[in-house]
Chains A and B, each alone.
Chain A
Amino acid sequence: MITLIAGAIITLAVFSYLLGDNLLYRWALALLVGSGVGYALAIVVREVLVTRLMGTVRSLYLVPLILGALLLLKGFPRFSAFGNISMGFIIGVGAAVAVSGALLGTVIPQVRDTGAAVTLQGGWSPFLDGLLALAGTILALFAFSPRVRVARTAEAEAELPRPARLGTWVQQLGRGFITVALAVAFGGALTSALTLFIGRWWAVVGAVMEAISRLTGS
């Protein structure tokens, strides 16, 4: 009950931003950020440091222990160069993992599925979907091509040669696809925000009703 009421109060404090920036909103924001950071710090200490260093000690952990100790030296300008070893290791490993994953998990599957979708095996609907995905991918790539000359005005476009004029059109179409993609992302964010909004609002209403039922004894 206490957590329910506390959650409702904090939610109302956040909703008060609809009336403008105020102290309640800032208080709720500071509470959220502070509690989140404190909680994350406590988790890191317990889950990483305590569990892996003070638990079952393995000789393999000496390497990350040393690298971690060197990383702490980044806080001292005189010895910060020793921390570069750890930073290099982290960045190098992270980049290798990300690049290999992006290549095998994103680029190749997207290219394969984009081409494979343009078939009539599944009917016209999957074919059109695949064709739209292929066109959107190619046109979006053209939209970012720096070699395509873009005419800002109709007069400038009339002065362009025909191939250049075609490039301008292609680029405009690519930008249209990108705009639609961003609009879809915005729609999804809006939907999620509304979902959370409804959930929180219901939580507030539920807390109020629960309090009323407790007070009335019904």
Chain B
Amino acid sequence: MIRCPKCNTLNRDSSRFCSECGAPLYRTRIRCPQCGTLNPVGNIFCDQCHTRLVPAEETPATPAAKLTEETGPRVQGISLPTRPAPAGESGETGAQQPMPDWLMGFLGPETPEPGETSGAVPDGLAERAEETATPPEEPVTPVELPDWLTSLAEESAPAAVPSRPELEPAAELPDWLTGLAEESAPAAVPSRPEPEPAAELPDWLTGLAEESAPAAAAPAPEPEPAAELPDWLAGLVEEAASPSPAAPPIAAEEGIPDWLSGIMEEVSAAEPILEPEPQEPEASLEPAALPDWLAGVLEPEETPAQRPGAPAISAAPAPDWLSAWEEDIEEEHPIGGREDLSAEDTWPEQQAPASESARMGAGEMAAEVPDWLRALGPRSGAVAVEALPEGLEQAELPMWLEQLRPPGTAPLDSSRAPEAPPGEEAPVEGLTRAEIPDWLQPYRPTATSPATGTSALEMAVSAPESEGPLSGLAGLLPALPGVDAPAHFAPTMAVPLPQTVVQEAQLWQQLLEGGAGAQGRPKPRARVTWPAVVVRVMVALVLVLASLLRFSETPLAQPPEQPNVSALYATIEALQPGAEVWIAFDYTLADVDEMDFIVEALLEHLLSREARIVAVSTLPEGPGLIADRFAWALGRPDVSPDSLVSRGFVAGGTAGVAQILTSATADAGPHLLVVLTSRPEKLKAWVEQTAVINGARLAEGKPALPLVAGVSAAAAPQLRPYLNASAQAGWLSGFSGVAAYLQARGLPPREDISRRLDALLVTQWLAASLLAAGALFYLLAGKQKTG
């Protein structure tokens, strides 16, 4: 996760901009030039393909770095007045270790006490130190100390060894200084050429080197005395050579030394990076709380005005801490020269003998200079930036450094900020233009590219995908630009679409809108074909004929004699008075017009035979039908209510039929079973279950239960085999069956039934004619059309 330096929102690692405030998030990985894998910043080799990520000449670790690894945390040194370190917290982090007392003396009276400021290095500064030290691939020996100090160290070291063996050039330095040396040395070396040691030394130090040369125990390469020594250094050299303690004041009559100029240059170059961040500043990191010496480092242009008490280098832009250091020296040794800067003053913890201080001279003074100061000397910020690897150059700045950035400034230098495309408005002051990646550039909502004149959509379509799951595929339609799209932007279709696709899309859009536009549009009416017209004419003709035949006096047809109806009549006629007859009302309300005639014909005959009627149904509509027919029956003369019993509805379907038959035949059983239905499956169920019951009854020696049926005309064709095989006691169907039954009983034909039969006959002929016409049309015209 990447924390936004502006709003502290956590973003994904791959995010380039904050999802909350849109602030740019800098990459924290180094992309491998070989395989494109994103590697952590500290990687030297790629995790994926082992390709070197940084130049080879910068790789080797310095002895100081090795020492740092052995001795612990390496990033310590510069003390900022930050938050106090928690009690008991160790210095494992390297950022909150208390500053040694001897270093506090260097900081001057303005420097806060260690107990107040904890002397800890801020986290961000430590990260900055690590970040700067990331490419430690530098030659070991010549880099650890600048050349101009190396010679001095080599000269003074033999003199210091007998009395203070721990003051070796590397071992005597505290860890935090070692860390700074490690981090600053690699970046400094590539930025400067490898001159001869004599030419590299500052003039004044060159004189010191010459002065201390006789006291050195071991011979060291003698730098040539520089001819361009400043006067004060020349005097210092002379004083060191003579026993007189008088020393000229440290003055830079001819300007600041070269190494201090390097500091200025570096600070000036590094200023955009080390700018304080005013947004949400921490109390301990306020710029006003910075010590002057650090303020001088950060703001060198103000240094001359803040150093009134440094007359020796008043003309030079030296930092305050250096001035304070010099003031302390002058206060404690008002007359003493450089030889008076003994180890007791600078290294109180190591208590060098006072007698040895004189022979330490300028060489020891050079050793007293911290490494981080040496690192700052010869380096320039611009060169350091150039020395960074390509991937590291775009690395994400640490948060503490982002917080130091002043408001209104770009997070990166202006050379990296994307320029506004021509034709667009200038960026608002204080806002940073979004950095759009290259692969997203074709999707910009510009109508045409100013360079080529081609549309962005065309460029996007022609260019293959470079990232994502569709990487390598060309011809992909870009997504509708929804980010940074101007209000007047209207996407243009660069790819011509078929008309059908466009119409379909428009139809979908209209359907989705679903508004008044779709409703107000006239609905297309289906074209009426002539067969449909013929059908409607035939239906109308049927209606007219049926209506007219209702008033005909002479029946058109007489019902034919049906043997099954005669059998039914004979069965009912054979019933004894008082015989129990079960009637199943298993037809629906839709069949009432037809079934009522059948029910009335059979029920009238049964009641005339004084049979006891028990009605039952396996359909929910049955009880209503039973009640209606019983009401009709009770309206007839000589009908007792006791002869009509309703068992109502029995649930269960086929199981219900079996239950009815089982309960009905438990005792003596009914003498006849009449099934009135318009559904074939109902009659099948009754026939099948009756067969089961009859099998049991025959096994018990009882007579079989006779079954008769009255079915609708629609069910008769399917049920005829069942009726012929099982209902041998007789059955009837439809109006023709009713008419035949009445005729079998010797009754005169009912007028209504006769008229219905006439109407049915005519309509059936019409329907048959229509079917024949349709079949003829199919045979003659439709088949040819199909072929």
Contacts and interface: CB of A to CB of B under 8 A. Distances in A.
B562 to A, nearest CB: 15
B550 A202 contact: yes
A184 B717 contact: yes
A39 B691 contact: no
A197 interface: yes
B546 A189 contact: no
Given A101-B691, A106-B688, A194 B620 contact: no
A105 interface: yes
Interface stretch (A41-49, A139-147, A163-171): A41-49
Interface string A103-135: 011100110110000000000000000000100
Interface in B612-670: 620-621, 623-624, 648-649, 651-655, 658
Contacts of B591: 192, 196
Interface string A35-73: 010011101100110010000000000000000000000
Given A44-B649, A195-B594, A195-B760, A190 B688 contact: no
A100 B695 CA distance: 11
A9 B764 CA distance: 26
Interface in B703-727: 712-718, 721-722, 724-726
A199 B623 contact: no
Contact of B721 (A110, A195, A203): A110
A101 B688 contact: yes
Interface in B541-587: 542-543, 546-547, 550
A101 B692 contact: yes
Interface string B740-782: 0000000000000000100110011001000000000000000
B684 interface: yes
B13 to A, nearest CB: 43
A188 B550 contact: no
A194 B583 CA distance: 26
A191 B713 contact: yes
The B interface, classified by DSSP as helix, strand, loop or mixed, is helix
Contacts, number: 140
A185 B717 contact: yes
A97 interface: yes
B717 A187 contact: yes
B680 to A, nearest CB: 9
A199 B714 contact: no
Given A39-B621, A192-B714, A205-B547, A105 B649 contact: no
Given A98-B654, A190-B767, A198 B759 contact: yes
Given A18-B536, A195-B735, A205-B550, A109 B648 contact: no
Contact of A109 (B550, B713, B725): B725
B689 A101 contact: yes
B428 interface: no
B677 interface: no
Contacts of A185: 717-718
Interface string B88-99: 000000000000
Contacts of A101: 654, 658, 685, 688-689, 691-692
B688 A199 contact: no
A198 B695 CA distance: 42
Contacts of B716: 188
B492 to A, nearest CB: 44
Interface of A: 18, 36, 39-41, 43-44, 47-48, 51, 90, 93-94, 97-98, 100-102, 104-106, 109-110, 112-113, 133, 184-185, 187-203, 205
Interface of B: 536, 539, 542-543, 546-547, 550, 589-591, 593-594, 620-621, 623-624, 648-649, 651-655, 658, 678, 684-685, 687-692, 695, 712-718, 721-722, 724-726, 734-735, 756, 759-760, 763-764, 767
12 contacts: A44-B651, A98-B654, A101-B685, A112-B725, A188-B718, A191-B734, A192-B594, A194-B760, A198-B763, A202-B550, A202-B759, A205-B547
